[in-house]
Amino acid sequence: MPSKMLQFTRLAQARPTKRTNAERRRDFDEIYQPFETPRAAEQASRCEQCGIPFCQIHCPVANNIPDWLMLAAAGRLDEAYALSSATNNFPEICGRICPQDRLCEGNCVLEQSHHGAVTIGAMEKHITDTAWAEGWVKPPRPRRERPESVGIIGAGPAGLAAADQLRKQGYQVHVYDRHDRAGGLLIYGIPAFKLDKDIVARRTRLLADGGVTFHLNFAVGRDSSLTELRQRHDAVLIASGVYKARPLTLQGATLTGIVAALDYLIASNRVGLGDSLKAFEDGSLNAAGKRVVVIGGGDTAMDCVRTAIRQGAQSVKCLYRRDRGNMPGSQREVRNAEEEGVEFIWQSAPEALLGDGHVTGLRSVKMHLGVADASGRQAPTPVDGSQFTLPADLVITALGFDPEDVPTLFGAADLAVTRRGTLAVDEATAMTTLPGVFAAGDIVRGASLVVWAIKDGRDAAAAIDHFIRAAADRRAAE
Distance of closest approach, residue 3 Cβ to ligand SF4, in angstroms: 24
CA 205, 206, 208, 212 dihedral sign is: negative
Interaction of residue 337 with ligand FAD, rule CB under 6 A: no
Interaction of residue 95 with ligand FAD, rule CB under 6 A: no
Interaction of residue 421 with ligand FAD, rule CB under 6 A: no
Angle between helix 299-310 and helix 261-272 axes, rounded to 10 deg: 50
Distance, in Å, from the CA atom of 64 to the CA atom of 83, rounded to the nearest integer, reads 7
Residue 127: which H helix or E strand, with range?
helix 120-134
Q: In terms of CB distance, is 59 or 295 closer to ligand SF4?
A: 59
| Binding segment toward ligand SF4, per CB under 6 A, in 74-82, 119-127, 382-390, 430-438 | 119-127
Interaction of residue 457 with ligand SF4, rule CB under 6 A: no
Sole binder of ligand SF4 in the list 31, 44, 47, 65 (CB under 6 A)? 65
- Residues binding ligand FAD: number (CB under 6 A): 37
Backbone φ, ψ for residue 142 (5° rounding): -70, 150
Cβ neighbors of 384 (< 8 A, separation 6 or more) are: none
Cβ neighbors of 351 (< 8 A, separation 6 or more) are: 250, 251, 362, 363, 364, 365, 382, 387
Q: Which does 120 bind (CB under 5 to 8 A by kind): ligand FAD, ligand SF4, none?
A: ligand SF4
Interaction of residue 437 with ligand SF4, rule CB under 6 A: no
Distance of closest approach, residue 340 Cβ to ligand FAD, in angstroms: 16
Answer yes or no: are the C-beta atoms of 187 and 200 closer than 8 Å. Answer: yes
Interaction of residue 411 with ligand FAD, rule CB under 6 A: no
Distance, in Å, from the CA atom of 345 to the CA atom of 243, rounded to the nearest integer, reads 27
Distance, in Å, from the CA atom of 287 to the CA atom of 263, rounded to the nearest integer, reads 13
Q: In terms of CB distance, is 126 or 178 closer to ligand FAD?
A: 178
Cα–chain-centroid distance for residue 380? Answer: 27
Interaction of residue 100 with ligand SF4, rule CB under 6 A: yes
Q: What is the CA radius of gyration of the chain?
A: 24
Answer yes or no: are the C-beta atoms of 333 and 318 closer than 8 Å. Answer: no
Mark 5-44 with x for binding to ligand FAD (rule: CB under 6 A) and - for no binding: ----------------------------------------
Distance, in Å, from the CA atom of 161 to the CA atom of 78, rounded to the nearest integer, reads 21
Interaction of residue 239 with ligand FAD, rule CB under 6 A: yes
Q: In terms of CB distance, is 139 or 221 closer to ligand FAD?
A: 221
Mark 17-56 with x for binding to ligand SF4 (rule: CB under 6 A) and - for no binding: ----------------------------------------
Q: In terms of CB distance, is 161 or 313 closer to ligand FAD?
A: 161
Q: In terms of CB distance, is 5 or 57 closer to ligand SF4?
A: 57
Q: Which does 397 bind (CB under 5 to 8 A by kind): ligand FAD, ligand SF4, none?
A: none
- The 3-state DSSP class for residue 176 equals strand
Answer yes or no: are the C-beta atoms of 369 and 356 closer than 8 Å. Answer: no
- Which amino acid makes up residue 224? S
Sole binder of ligand SF4 in the list 43, 49, 64, 88 (CB under 6 A)? 88
Show the DSSP H helices in 17-114 as ranges.
21-32, 37-46, 54-57, 65-73, 77-87, 91-97, 109-112
Q: How far apart are the first and last CA of the chain?
A: 64
Distance of closest approach, residue 9 Cβ to ligand FAD, in angstroms: 37
Sole binder of ligand SF4 in the list 61, 166, 390, 453 (CB under 6 A)? 61
Instruction: Give 410's DSSP letter.
Output: T
- The 3-state DSSP class for residue 281 equals helix
Q: Which does 124 bind (CB under 5 to 8 A by kind): ligand FAD, ligand SF4, none?
A: ligand SF4
Q: Which does 88 bind (CB under 5 to 8 A by kind): ligand SF4, ligand FAD, none?
A: ligand SF4
The footprint of ligand FAD on residues 430-459 (CB under 6 A) is 441-442, 448-451, 453
Residues at the contact surface with ligand SF4, assessed by CB under 6 A: 59, 61, 63, 65, 88, 94-95, 98, 100, 103-104, 120-121, 124, 451
Residues at the contact surface with ligand FAD, assessed by CB under 6 A: 97-98, 153-159, 176-179, 184-185, 189-190, 194, 219-221, 239-241, 262, 265, 299-300, 303, 409, 441-442, 448-451, 453
